[in-house]
Amino acid sequence: MTAEIGTDIGRVAAFLQAGQVVGIPTETVYGLAGNALDADAVLTIFRVKNRPAFDPLIVHTDSLEKVSQFVSTIPAPARQLAQAFWPGPLTLLLPRRSVIPDLVTSGLPSVAVRIPHHPLTLALLRALPFPLAAPSANPFGYISPTTAHHVADQLGEQIPYILDGGPAQVGLESTIVGFDEQGPTVYRLGGLALDQIEAIIGPVSVRTHSTSNPAAPGMLSSHYAPRKPLILLPPGQSPPPADRVGALVFREPFGGIPADRQRVLSPGGNLNEAAKNLFAHLRALDSLPVDMLYAEPLPNQGLGFAMNDRLRRASVRE
């Protein structure tokens, strides 16, 4: 039996209150959601995704006031960012209260929290008496889903319902920012560009990779990967002409590769459009009868930094 796809918030809330996990839309990617305060529900998330327990989860809620129930302090720069960008593709790493199960944070003292910018999911969160833990709704390490049908294709036989909110409008996971005595640190590049963050709180350091025991979600060096081997090309380099390869390009197709085996992220060169298309195009290429994929790097500006980060990790083979 496969998951039902629909827009019935009441049914989704009933599944969640019964301790089950469901697919939900956000502006970044689709999430696999369960009651963040119920360790059994959180364990189900890890099991369905086949996600290692040392990789922490993000807790989603619908107001800054509710966030205060789950964290012990909100530093001034964190509050400034929350007021500027929530709801939105920003996750804050903050000291947790004991109400958050150890399993959510992988035993770490901080919890990742955010308010998603999607009307259906915000309405769902307002209807629930608990926050939702929700990593991306895909098998661990694979390309993140940006539509309800992506979720159904990968996890549909393991969950009862997928809330359909249409295609994700950002298409990249949230940017994660933490705070310590050294100042603000970006732990994951994502749908909120670095320059937007620095315009609010000034310079931040960036620490985005971890091979084991990550400090925040999405830091593992190998992640977001298609099943086919992916090669990230050096800037300005083209792949060798071949029939059984696919290519992900920014604006214009490569010569020497059939057009139907290439996907263009943004013919007009718009990085926001490219980010919205990134995971869907990677997924489409991965389904083609090819042996290998090539990807062209994006300009290192705005959301280009985060997309290049995803492509680098998708190309890692452990």
Terminal CA-CA length for the chain: 34
188 is in an annotated binding site: yes
312 is in an annotated binding site: no
63 is in an annotated binding site: no
- What is the widest separation between alpha-carbon atoms in the chain? 58
Rounded Cα–Cα distance for residues 287 and 169 (Å): 23
**Are 137 and 32 in contact, with CB atoms under 8 Å apart?**
yes
Reading across the β-sheet that carries 110-114, which strands appear in turn?
Answer: 4-6, 161-163, 22-24, 31-35, 132-133, 58-60, 110-114, 90-95, 175-180, 183-188, 205-206
Smallest CA-to-CA distance from 24 within 48, 54, 60, 53 is with 60
Q: Where are the alpha helices (DSSP H) in the chain?
A: 9-17, 39-49, 64-70, 76-85, 102-105, 119-127, 148-155, 194-201, 271-286, 304-314
98 is in an annotated binding site: no
Query: What is the secondary structure of 19-36 as a DSSP string?
Result: T--EEE--SSS-EEEEET
126 is in an annotated binding site: no
144 is in an annotated binding site: yes
Write the burial class of residue 128 (CB in 10 Å: 0-12 exposed, 13-18 middle, 19+ buried).
middle
Within 10 Å of residue 109's Cβ, how many Cβ atoms?
A: 9
161 is in an annotated binding site: no
Buried b (16+ CB within 10 A) or exposed e, 280-317: bbbbebbebebeebbbbbbbeebbbbbbbbbbbbbbee
Rounded Cα–Cα distance for residues 290 and 226 (Å): 12
Q: Which residues contact 157 (CB under 8 A, 6 or more apart)?
A: 1, 2, 3
60 is in an annotated binding site: yes
Query: Residues annotated in the binding site for ATP, as ranges?
Result: 51, 136, 144, 188, 224
Query: Residues annotated in the binding site, as ranges?
Result: 28, 51, 60, 114, 134, 136, 144, 174, 188, 224
Query: Residues annotated in the binding site for L-threonine, as ranges?
Result: 28, 60, 114, 134, 174
